[in-house]
Amino acid sequence: MKAGDCNAMEKTFGIRIVILGSFITGISLFHYLTPLHVAYLHDIFQRLYYLPIILAALWFGLRGGLLCSVIVSLVYAPHILFQWGGHFGMEAEKYLEIILYNTVGGVTGLLSQRERERTVELQKSKGVLEASYEKLRAQSDRIIAIEEQLRNSERLSTMGEFAAVLAHEIRNPLGSIRGTAEILKDDYGPDDPKHEFIEIQIRETERLNRVVEDFLHMVRPQPSEMQPCAVQEELETIVTLLGGEAARRQVELVLQTQPNPVVISADGEKLRQAFLNIVLNALQATPPGGRVTISAVADVKGACKISFRDTGSGIKAEELGRIYEPFFTTKSDGTGLGLAISRKIIESHKGKLEVESTPGTGTTVIISLPKQESVNGEMA
């Protein structure tokens, strides 16, 4: 219980004691100061003693009711004995009143105490029910989330069934279109107006082919081939591959090297694909003159932490929760599959991918990869 609550209870207790004392003192003074020949007033005063007795029983329970009735009896008894002469036969009802004081105090106090105990039990039951309700609501939320995941899995499964047909029906015509465009390109020089349209045709064909490839990787991931993988070397390869793209966008691509190589057990080709998607997103989100910084460190347990930090416009809070959804993208020419595929790859390595972003400041993608067992059972 807090100190403030204790102080409030002590203050309330003191006020109630003063009220009861004032009632008993006032009624007793009326008894002792009123002449005996005004008998009807004494009858009223002796009935008024029930008021502090009942209040004490309601406020303090059985003990309070009995204690107050005893105090009233002790205060009232001298009035009977000395002022009324102590004739039992004549004033029997006044002695009976003392018995009733104690009876009313005990019965009222007992009922009040039981009611108070019942209230405490109901409060405890209320707390248990509220806790159960919160638990059920949390379970319900988890069930809804699981159902949503199942629906997504079912949708992806259905997409996977169409993937093979889609690949067969689209890839071959795309290859023919690209081949035809490249043949036509040789017939038209750079100065010819048709050369630009052929370039657009080839570029859009390549983009559509990438969409198909990403779609296939999303719905039909290939099994991982785990082997010792030097994370630093994979990142250096990514920087080499995207160096030209970064220069074209006038973005500085920086890889912070570490003195000790970080080696884990992983599928290097898949990690390279995940890193490539993330760095491409960072380059596309960073304006000219900005920077994309990559770093990789290993902790004492051998786990690897890789961060990709850009100085772009950041991601809005309402969009941050949807960035892993397939086909969700904020880019006009994006497919919305890159980050979803990267996350799937990292999770297949028992790792974790997190995104931290502040609008107007930039975005940081953090990948955590645990130390895993290699193919021959030894630790990487």
For a pLDDT cut of 70, what percent of the chain falls above it?
Answer: 79
Query: With bands split at pLDDT 50, 70 and 90, how would you rate the model's confidence at 29?
Result: confident
pLDDT tens string 219-276:
555 556 678 888 888 888 888 888 888 898 999 999 987 777 778 888 887 888 888 8
Regarding whether 87 and 197 lie in a shared domain, the answer is: no
What percent of the chain is modeled with pLDDT above 90?
A: 6
Is residue 205 included in any domain, yes or no?
Answer: yes
Same domain, 106 and 187: no
Do 43 and 170 fall into the same domain? no
The reported pLDDT for the residue numbered 291 is 93
Question: Same structural domain for residues 249 and 334?
Answer: yes
User: Domain span at residue 297?
Assistant: 227-369
- 379 within domain boundaries: no
Cα separation, 339 vs 245, in Å, equals 19
Cα–Cα distance between 341 and 330 in angstroms, integer? 16
Q: Are residues 364 and 232 in the same domain?
A: yes
Q: What is the pTM of this model?
A: 0.46
| Residues 232 and 329 placed together within one structural domain of the fold | yes
Q: Is residue 190 in some structural domain?
A: yes
Between 143 and 166, residue with greater pLDDT? 143
Same domain for 101 and 17, yes or no, is yes
Residue 379 has a pLDDT of 40
Residues 22 and 126 in one domain: yes
Question: Per the structure, how many domains does the chain have?
Answer: 3
Same domain, 54 and 171: no
Does 266 lie in the same domain as 170? Answer: no
Is 147 contained in some domain? no
Q: Is residue 140 part of a domain?
A: no
269 occurs within a structural domain: yes
Last residue of a domain, one of 198, 219, 240: 219
Residue 194 lies in a domain: yes
pLDDT tens digits, 308-363: 999 988 888 777 777 777 666 666 555 566 777 788 888 888 888 889 988 888 89
Last residue of a domain, one of 186, 203, 219: 219
Domain presence at residue 181: yes
pLDDT digits (tens, 9 = 90+) for 188-226: 777 777 777 788 778 778 777 766 766 666 555 555 667
Same domain, 167 and 283: no
Residues 234 and 212 in one domain: no
**Domain termination site, one of 176, 200, 219:** 219
pLDDT recorded at residue 153: 65
